[in-house]
Amino acid sequence: MTALDLSSPVAVVGTGTMGQGIAQVALVAGHPVRLYDTVPGRAREAADAIGARLDRLVEKERLTGADRDAARARLLPAEDLPELADCALVVEAVLERLDVKQDLFRALEGIVDDDCLLATNTSSLSVTAIGGALRVPGRFVGLHFFNPAPLLPLVEVVSGFATDVTYATRAYETARAWGKTPVACADTPGFIVNRIARPFYAEAFAVYESQGADPATIDAVLRESGGFRMGAFELTDLIGQDVNESVTRSVWESFFQDVRFTPSLAQRRLVESGRLGRKTGHGWYDHGEGAERPEPDTAEKRQPPAYVVAEGDLGPAAELLALIREAGIPVREEDEDSGSRLVLPSGGQLALADGQTSVEFRDVVYFDLALDYREAGRIALSASQDTSPQTLAEAIGLFQALGKQVSVIGDVPGMIVARTVARIIDLAHDAVAKGVATEEDIDTAMRLGVNYPLGPFEWSRRLGRSWAYALLDDLHLRDPSGRYAPSLALYRHAHASDKREGTAS
Ligand SMILES: NC(=O)c1ccc[n+]([C@@H]2O[C@H](COP(=O)([O-])OP(=O)(O)OC[C@H]3O[C@@H](n4cnc5c(N)ncnc54)[C@H](O)[C@@H]3O)[C@@H](O)[C@H]2O)c1
C-alpha cells in the first residue's frame, strides 16, 4: 500500500473553487488538512465554506455529526507557508500561470521535507514545465481533479518527464484511497479528457458553421441519437464559452497550432461579444428570464415506404433491419459486394453516414450514427438538392415508423454523431500510440470526466476499428486541411483488423 497514511497532513494552497473542493475530499477521507491562500483571510473563509458544506452532508445524512465535528477539528487555515512544513502532500490550486506556480513550488521546497509529494491541479500548463523549477522534481506530479471535486470521481494523475514512478504511484494510490477513480497519464496538452474531448465541441460547431443545422437540432441529435448527456451548444453555455474556448485554444497552441484542434470562429464571436453562456444570460442560447429554448428541426409526418431492400451489410446500423421488420415493413435482403444500403421503393438509397456527401450520388439520403438504434429518439438525415423529394419522404417515413423523430440536416459529410465519434476514436488511438495513457484509462476518463455513454475504445470495438478510419479517410478527401486526417495509429488498427478479417488488399 503506497497511499499516504491518513495521519499525514495534507496542504491545499489556493483556496478558490478547486482548492476548497480538493481540501474537502482529503478532509473527509480522514487527513488533517491545512489551507493556505495569498489573500489574507481567504483560507479562513474557505474553511468556513467547507464546514458549511459538511453541515449540508450531515443534513442529507451522508456524514454523521461526529465525523463532521472531527473533520472540522482537522481543518486548519494557515497564515503563512512555513506552517505547511510537516505536510506529506501539498496540492496547489492557485492562479493558472506558470510563473506563479513555479514561484510557489520553489518557496515550498524550502519549507517541506524532500520526500513531500508536491502536486499541481493545473488544467492547461505543462507539469514538466512547472516541475522544472524544482530542486527535487521527481516528487512532482499533476493531480487533475474535475469541478466539483467532491462529486466528480475522476482524477488524472499526470507524470511529467522528471516524475519518479514511486511518487506517481503514491499520488495515484492516495487519490484512490480518497474514493476517487484515478487514471495515469503522461504530461501532454489537455492530458486525457481535455485532449480527446475537443472534437465533441469542434465538430458540432463546424456543422453549424457550414450551415448544416442550427444549435438546437445539433444538440438534440447528439443527445437523442448519440447518447451524449448534453449537446455541445448547451454544454458550453453551461461551462462558459470563455472557459471552453480557452481550453481549446490552449490545447491548439500547445500542439503548435495543430489543425486537428483549431478553435471555432463562431465560438470566438460569442466570446468577443460577451455572450459567455448561462452566466451572462446569453450564449448560443438565450438564457434570459422567460426565454424559450428553440425547438430542434423535426420533420413533418410522412408515409412509411411499402418495403425496403437491404443490400449488403449495414455494419454498425445492422440492428435497423430487425426494427424495420418489427414495424411491419417488409425487408428483402440481397447480398451485395459493392456497398451497404437500403433501397427504397422510389429507387433512391438510404446509407449510413460514411464521410461522403449526398451530392456525389444520384439519389442518396444519409442517416446518422446512433449509439443504439433501438433506443434512439431521433435520427438525423442528410440529403442534397439533387435528392428526389420522394426518396427523402420515404426515408423520413421509414424512421418515423420506427418511432423516431427525424431531423433533416444539410449535406454535411460524416453528419453529426458519426464524424464526432470517429474523431474521438481517432484522437484516443493517437493518444495511446503517443504513450499518453492506456486504452482502459482513456475509456474510464471519458466516461467519468465528460460523461460519454461509452469510452472511445468500447465504441471503436462496437463499430469496428476500420469504420472510424474509413469515415475519416473520406472526410479527409473532402477537407484536405488535415483536420480529419486519420492518425497513423488508427490506420494501423484498421489495417490489422482488415488483415484478421481477410479483407486486406
Ligand atoms: N475551475 C475549474 O473548473 C478547474 C478544474 C480543474 C483544474 N482547475 C485548475 O485549478 C487551479 C485553480 O482554479 P480555480 O478555479 O480554483 O481558481 P480560483 O480563482 O477559484 O482560485 C484560485 C485561488 O488561488 C489564490 N492564489 C493565487 N495565487 C496564489 C499564490 N501564489 N499562493 C496561494 N494562493 C494563491 C487566489 O487568491 C484564489 O483564492 C487552476 O490551476 C485551474 O487551472 C480548475
Q: What is the pLDDT of residues 30-86, one digit of tens each?
A: 999 999 999 999 999 999 999 999 999 999 999 999 999 999 999 999 999 999 999
Nearest alpha carbon, ligand 1 atom 15: 17
pLDDT of residue 263: 98
For residue 84, what are the CA distances in angstroms to 48, 95, 258, 364, 448?
A: 19, 19, 41, 67, 32
- Burial-class residue 404 by CB neighbours within 10 Å (0-12, 13-18, 19+): buried
Share of the chain above pLDDT 70, in %: 97
> Would the pLDDT of 158 be above 80?
yes
> Would the pLDDT of 505 be above 50?
no
> Would the pLDDT of 273 be above 70?
yes
Residue closest to 149 by CA, chosen among 16, 36, 42: 16
Q: How confident is the model at residue 259 (pLDDT cuts 50, 70, 90)?
A: very high
Residue closest to 205 by CA, chosen among 181, 224, 231, 171: 231
pLDDT of residue 11: 98
Nearest alpha carbon, ligand 1 atom 20: 16
Q: How many residues does the chain have?
A: 505
pLDDT of residue 498: 54
Which one of 50, 94, 235 would you pick to mutate in the ligand 1 pocket, going by the greatest count of ligand atoms within 8 A of its CB? 94
Higher pLDDT, 25 or 333: 25
Residue 11 phi/psi, 5-degree rounding, is -110, 145
CA-147 nearest atom, ligand 1? 3
Distance between Cα 43 and ligand 1 center (Å): 13
Nearest alpha carbon, ligand 1 atom 18: 16
For residues 377-401, give the mean pLDDT: 95
Name the H helices within 180-264: 193-196, 198-209, 215-224, 232-239, 241-254
Are the beta carbons of 171 and 119 closer than 8 angstroms? yes
Residue closest to 127 by CA, chosen among 208, 212, 118, 244: 118
**The three three-digit cell numbers of residue 500, written as one number:** 484478421
- To the query of whether residue 194 is one of the catalytic residues in this protein, the response is yes
For residues 464-485, give the mean pLDDT: 95
Residue closest to 53 by CA, chosen among 83, 22, 86: 22
pTM given for the model: 0.95
Scored b (16 or more CB within 10 A) or e, 184-197 reads bbbbbbbbbbbbbb
Distance between Cα 240 and ligand 1 center (Å): 17
Does residue 88 sit in helix, strand or coil? coil
In whole numbers, what is the pLDDT of the chain averaged over residues? 95
Neighbours of 329 (CB within 10 A): 17
**For residue range 89-146, what is the model confidence (pLDDT) as tens digits?**
999 999 999 999 999 999 999 999 999 999 999 999 999 999 999 999 999 999 999 9
Q: At what angle do helices 198-209 and 265-272 cross, to 10 degrees?
A: 90
For residues 362-374, give the mean pLDDT: 95
d(CA 219, CA 399): 19
**What distance lies between CA 189 and its chain's CA centroid?**
14
d(CA 369, CA 381): 10
